[in-house]
Structure 1
Amino acid sequence: MFLFSLALLSSLPLAARAQSASVACLQIAASISTASSVFFPGSLSYATDIFHWASSSADLSVCSVEPGTAADVAKILQIVGASRIPFAVKGGGHTSNPGFSSTPGVHLSMSRFSEVTYNASAGTVIIGAGLVWDDVYTVLDPLNVTVVGGRFSGVGVAGYSLGGGYSWKSNQFGLTVDNILGYDLVLPNGTITTVTATKNPDLYFGLKGGLNNFGIVTRFTFKAYPQTQIWGGLITYAGPTIPAVNKAVADFSALTTDPKAQIFAAYNGALGIAVLGHLLFYDAPTPPPGIFDEFLAIPFLTKDIGTRDLASIVRLFPTNVTTGSRTIFDTVPVTKYTPALVDAILNETTFWSAHLAPFGGLAVSYNIEPFLPTAVPSTNPPTAFPGTRTPGVALCPTNFFFLWVPETSDAIFHDAMHQSTAQIKALAIAEGVLGTSKYTNYAIYDTPLSDIYGPNVPRLQSIKKAVDPQNIMGLAGGFKF
């Protein structure tokens, strides 16, 4: 189960905890090099460092630290570890779970790790842990190369990559974790190392979906792939056309086998009214006839579809447009989307957007994400996530997403999310399409580890104990082994 960092010093009075964190901040400031900085409340840099897209995921830390070198990350870990001070590690800050990348203690922002280096001869790209995917594609698109990375604007490289990673390229090349060749890692004891399949196979396995349990990653080495322009864009629907859209979604999930073709079908609701925003994607300048004809034949509200570069389709669906609202995610993994399941997701959209409005609800969004079995190839070496890869069976990470304003309504929305997840899970079981592993980056904070990592949990716990016997990474938030 997850562990909030605040609970780790719960035996101390609040004032004593803050004083201990203040001392740690000063120790860090005196120890780090000029490549790094410490900031305190009242400064613009501090506000930027602790900022999260979802206000419910942010916390007021005693200080923020922007490490600029791996050696300084090591010093910081040694100080917070020796002092047992709660800390946070933030890449892009796109988690919806409270306390997963925020803290009342010492906040680390990885923003200075901003490298994107393409090595044509090696066929690799080195990517810093402080970037968002927009930054990465802006560099790589002009080079006509890409990596198996994020699909939406504002999503951070680090959390996404350490959690598994579903990509526009996944049907062709697997999950993001299947395409990372190495990790520059600062271990909890301060040792700086590079983790590869041959150098440290256990850590290599654990970092592929195991989040921040094993230390702090400063850089990732990705496989590089050629990238042409792509075809696609955003099309929206509402009103009487929605039943036809539901059929098109279910048909796409059941019938499409081209690994270059994908959709992301967002069922958005406000005040009981559904508006559907669908991204269509084909990994070539022009799709073959027929794949998207059913969607394109339906009367639409808006349409922005054509040949474009990869970065532009990522920016078409900015996940940070709801900045400042309170947010929670959850997910039900499925192997495909049956007509009954698609209809039920529409019903959840209209029901919960109407039911939650009196409590400050702004909107809900249920996101249907069909993937082929090739997105979770069973022939690849094992990874922490998913817990199970079944030959020939897809694993689609349906995302549920609630937005609201007042903090006093948090419990209402969290409970509603649990109810909605249970409803869709029950139907998925009845339809025979329930998947085996909840997607790490969508799973709500109290998800049991077994629901994400399945039979991998004992091995992950063993790796965690070996590399972090003092449980220093337990001082940070997140799902913990």
Structure 2
Amino acid sequence: MTALPAQAECLAAAGLQSQVLAPGEAEYDARQDSYWSNSAKIRPAAIVRPRSADEVAAAVKALVAAKQPFAVRSGGHTNWAGSNNIEGGVTIDLGLLSAVVYDAARETADIGPGCRWREVYAELHKHGRVVAGGREGNVGVAGLILGGGNTFFTARRGFACDNVVSYEVVLADGRVVVADKDNHADLFLALKGGSNNFGIVTRFTMTAIPCDKVWGGMAFLPKDVIPAATDALVAFTDNVANDPDSNLVAMFTHMPDFKSVVVATLYANVAGVERPPAYDKWLALPEILNTVKMTSVSEMAFEYNIPPQMHDIWFTLTVKNDARILAHASALHDQLVADLVSFIPAQDFVTQCLFQPLPALFGQNSAAAGGNVMGVERQTENGVLFLATAMVKTPEQEAFAYPKVKAWVDAVREFARGIEGGLLEWCYLNYADKSQDPIGSYGEGNVKLLREVAARYDPEGVFQTLCPGGFKISAVGL
């Protein structure tokens, strides 16, 4: 047995030695390798894998008493270093908290934070149910929900966090509490977009949604349709309120298989309506490849997965639903691709200039569901959620690409600022780079609320200092 690192001795004293993994052990290496992005694979001194909320509580109490820095991970999908792992500290790996239990009487599902969404949907599909969760099957449950969570059902039911009935939470002092609209209601609200500032969620209870069939899949279109695709995206976004069951993700993307920029689209009508009118403009465009069919959310979660084992750069903005802004972002994406081709002649990289509708309806649904802390309900005009990504093979390529992706997003931001109402306030936490300030974008009232809740449930600031990963309310400027 590998010797226990000094950083984990407190865990052994708390009776958790059998759950601790140390460098040099095969299971330690496997858990490190299971991070989606190579960029996140810094090396903790030890990994602890609790099997229950009580073991999470024991781990937290031991680490806090020893003043030992720690990180928390569920699926490990956030791409940037330090978001869900810690160099030289202890990572609390929630992967064994992976139960999914459907309650037919209450029409809810209890979901462990260590699940990935494909596992959640596979279990619920047995009952003809889904939840408003992630659309990419490899994404972990906890990170997506605690960052808000855009889903196939946002136009009907608000964000993923708006569909949580209760959270079981381990607090910094080791207490395990259940937060819902009647108990610890302030914490319940703060967890809806407030990320990992308050404790460790060990169970999410979500509303179950009847959903058997979905008409959906991917279509690929040639680059020369980008102007028409941009117009189709703007029209689709303005039409979401008329067809809240139809979803669209549009990517202008460079992929090694194509050796060029193509348009990749994800369609999903969650009512199971084939070729609904909302997609008419899209379906009229010429296609290279089409995998759209009658399917299920569960099957789509297994099929739609972003490639792992890359070095990944993500930045995000929200902008007005305006073709001029989208076209400018697309033109700058072409320049990024040219720059990357000059540095990576084999073209073994992926970029995405990705757009998703963000109509005012989304925030209205959040408010109707009881509200969250993201401030999206303040958005009065239809917008578009913009994600800029580059995925490359080596640290050297990442170092080359990072400033170029950042400059691309900065330029889109400045262009949008020049159009009346062009730049929207909200920054989506789950897509944000570490240099961005998503929580600060939630608005003064929500920032104040989050500070108060953090101080009430974690007065010693454990999740601000000992657990430094992620976006911290203490780092938001006054």
Query: Which position in structure 2 is the counterpart of 1:473?
Result: 463
Query: Which position in structure 2 is the counterpart of 1:277?
Result: 264
Amino acid at match of 1:173: R
Task: Work out whether residues 269 and 349 of structure 1, in 8 Å CA contact, stay in contact via their aligned partners in 2.
Answer: no
The Cα offsets for residues 370-392 of structure 1, whole Å up to 9 and x where unpaired, read as 133222223343322x1341265
- SS of the residue corresponding to residue 233 of structure 1 reads strand
User: 411, 422, 441: which one pairs with 2:430?
Assistant: 441
Within the alignment, does 1:401 sit opposite 2:389 as a pair?
A: yes
Query: Which position in structure 2 is the counterpart of 1:453?
Result: 442
1:44 Cα deviation after fit = 2.4
Task: Work out whether residues 333 and 438 of structure 1, in 8 Å CA contact, stay in contact via their aligned partners in 2.
Answer: yes
- SS of the residue corresponding to residue 190 of structure 1 reads coil
Higher relative contact order (CA 8 A, sep 6+): 1
- SS of the residue corresponding to residue 49 of structure 1 reads helix
User: 28, 40, 45: which one pairs with 2:22?
Assistant: 40
The Cα offsets for residues 435-472 of structure 1, whole Å up to 9 and x where unpaired, read as 22100111111223554322211221121122212222
Equivalences for 1:137-156 in 2 at 5 Å? Answer: 137-156=121-140
Aligned-residue CA RMSD in angstroms? 2.2
Amino acid at match of 1:300: E
Stretch of structure 1 that moved more, 188-197 or 236-245? 236-245
Task: Work out whether residues 264 and 278 of structure 1, in 8 Å CA contact, stay in contact via their aligned partners in 2.
Answer: yes
Within the alignment, does 1:332 sit opposite 2:322 as a pair?
A: no
1:307 Cα deviation after fit = 0.9
Query: Which position in structure 1 is the counterpart of 2:405?
Result: 417
Mark the CA change 1:450 to 1:123 in structure 2 (over 3 Å): closer, same or farther: closer
Equivalences for 1:60-71 in 2 at 5 Å? Answer: 60-71=43-54
1:356 Cα deviation after fit = 2.8
CA–CA separation in structure 2 for the residues paired with 1:32 and 1:67: 11
Task: Work out whether residues 233 and 280 of structure 1, in 8 Å CA contact, stay in contact via their aligned partners in 2.
Answer: yes
CA–CA separation in structure 2 for the residues paired with 1:396 and 1:339: 10
Task: Work out whether residues 440 and 447 of structure 2, in 8 Å CA contact, stay in contact via their aligned partners in 1.
Answer: no
CA–CA separation in structure 2 for the residues paired with 1:395 and 1:102: 33
Query: Which position in structure 2 is the counterpart of 1:373?
Result: 360
Amino acid at match of 1:64: I
CA–CA separation in structure 2 for the residues paired with 1:448 and 1:291: 34
1:279 Cα deviation after fit = 0.6
Within the alignment, does 1:462 sit opposite 2:455 as a pair?
A: no
Stretch of structure 1 that moved more, 90-99 or 444-453? 444-453
Stretch of structure 1 that moved more, 346-355 or 101-110? 346-355
Query: Which position in structure 2 is the counterpart of 1:10?
Result: none
Query: Which position in structure 2 is the counterpart of 1:244?
Result: 228
Task: Work out whether residues 426 and 438 of structure 2, in 8 Å CA contact, stay in contact via their aligned partners in 1.
Answer: no
The Cα offsets for residues 137-179 of structure 1, whole Å up to 9 and x where unpaired, read as 0011121111111111211101001000000011000011111
Query: Which position in structure 1 is the counterpart of 2:334?
Result: 350
What is the TM-score when the length of structure 1 is the normalising length? 0.90
Mark the CA change 1:390 to 1:357 in structure 2 (over 3 Å): closer, same or farther: same
The Cα offsets for residues 345-403 of structure 1, whole Å up to 9 and x where unpaired, read as 3212211122134445722111110133222223343322x134126544543211111
Task: Work out whether residues 84 and 472 of structure 1, in 8 Å CA contact, stay in contact via their aligned partners in 2.
Answer: no
Aligned length: 457
Amino acid at match of 1:472: V
Amino acid at match of 1:132: R
Mark the CA change 1:393 to 1:181 in structure 2 (over 3 Å): closer, same or farther: farther
Within the alignment, does 1:97 sit opposite 2:85 as a pair?
A: no
Q: What stretches of structure 1 of length at least 5 have no aligned partner?
A: 1-18
- SS of the residue corresponding to residue 177 of structure 1 reads helix
Amino acid at match of 1:267: F
Query: Which position in structure 1 is the counterpart of 2:62?
Result: 79
